[in-house]
């Protein structure tokens, strides 16, 4: 399954495939725009490109309260780049099939849409997040 970037949203851990990660930056305030979906913080300037910033925690809807946001992970899918604010970036891990489990039955539809399973890494439990779902969700 290859290497993944592990990050946290609140207290829970998530991961995306490393090949989709373009850049990681410290969180900064975005320029808000009207009529934006609640999970879109606005747009930010990354070396001359105007890129939307999405609050991933809010979009996936896993952690109830407003998470602290310390980092932005910029992901690339086809031609577009979107920034996702997360609580923290933890590490890079090798993912393997033998420790990959399905989500529990009662997971929210939203979580099932964005995540395809859980990677157990010793004591750790990491939700694997699907990059193309993230983009579809963000561009709605």
Partner 1 sequence: MSADDFTDDMDEIRQIFFDECDEQLALLEEQLTSLTENTGDAEKINTIFRCVHSIKGGAAAFGMEDLVKFSHLFESVLDRFRSGYIPVDMEAVKTFLKCKDTLFDIVGAFKDGGQSYIVAPENVAELDVYLNSGAGSRSENIEMEDVFGLSFAPVKIEIDPPTDQKYSIIINVSSQFYKRGDDIRNILATLSELGQMTVDLDVANVPLLNTIQPDQSYLIWKVLLVTDIARQEIEEVFEWSGDDIHAEIILLTDKIIKTETYLPIFDDKHEELQIKKTVDRKGIATVRVDIQRIDKLVDLIGELVINQGAIQSQMRRNKISGDSFLGNVVAAQEQLIHELQENVIMMRAYPIKTVFQKLGRVVRETARFTDKQVKLILEGEDTEVDRSILEKISDPLTHMVRNAIDHGIEDSAERLKVGKEAEGLLRLRAFQRSGRIIVEIQDDGAGLDPERIYDKAVEKKIIEKGEKLDRDEIFSLIFEPGFSTVAKVTDVSGRGVGMDVVKKSLQQINGRIFINSTKGKGTTFSISLPFTLSVIEGIIFKAERQDFVIPVNNVSETVIFDPAKAFHIGDGKYGYPYRDGYLSVIYAAEILGYRPDGKNQKICFVIENENEDKIAFVVDKIIDHSRFVVKNLEDNYRKIKCFSTATILGDGNVAFILDVEFLFGEILKKESPC
Beta strands in 97-140 (DSSP E): 100-101, 115-121, 124-129
Q: Which CB, 64 or 140, lies closer to partner 1?
A: 140
Q: Which is nearer to partner 1, 2 or 48 (CB)?
A: 48
Distances in whole angstroms, Cα of residue 65 to Cα of each of 10, 42, 92, 93? 8, 20, 26, 27
Shortest distance in whole angstroms from residue 47 CB to partner 1: 7
Binding site for partner 1 (CB under 8 A): 30-36, 42-45, 47-52, 79-82, 139
Give the residue among 16, 8, 127 at the shortest CA–CA distance from 82.
16
Cβ 70 to partner 1 shortest distance, Å: 19
Rounded to a whole number of angstroms, the minimum distance from the CB of residue 116 to partner 1 is 25
Q: Name the residue with tokens 């997971």.
A: 107
**Angle 26-2-52 from CA coordinates, rounded to 5°:** 35
Distances (CA, A) of 137 to 37, 55, 56, 97, 109: 11, 11, 10, 26, 13
User: Min. distance of Cβ 99 from partner 1 in angstroms?
Assistant: 33
Residues 6+ away with beta carbon under 8 Å from 45: 51
**Is 34 or 122 the residue whose CB approaches partner 1 more closely?**
34
Question: Least CB distance from residue 44 to partner 1, whole Å?
Answer: 7
- Toward partner 1, which CB reaches closer, 13 or 41? 41
| Cβ distance to partner 1 smaller for residue 125 or 139 | 139
């Amino acid at each position: 399954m290859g290497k993944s970037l592990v990050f946290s949203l609140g207290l829970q851990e998530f991961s995306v495939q490393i090949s989709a990660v373009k850049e990681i930056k410290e969180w900064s305030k975005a320029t808000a725009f009207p009529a934006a979906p609640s999970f879109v913080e606005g747009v930010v300037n990354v070396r001359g490109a105007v890129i939307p910033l999405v609050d991933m925690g809010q979009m996936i809807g896993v952690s109830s309260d407003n998470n602290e946001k310390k980092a932005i992970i910029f992901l690339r899918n086809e031609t577009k780049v979107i920034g996702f604010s997360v609580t923290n970036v933890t590490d890079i891990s090798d993912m393997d099939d033998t420790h990959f489990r399905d989500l529990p039955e009662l997971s929210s539809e939203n979580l099932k849409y964005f995540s395809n399973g859980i990677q157990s890494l010793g004591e750790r439990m990491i939700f694997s997040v699907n990059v193309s779902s993230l983009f579809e969700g963000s561009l709605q």
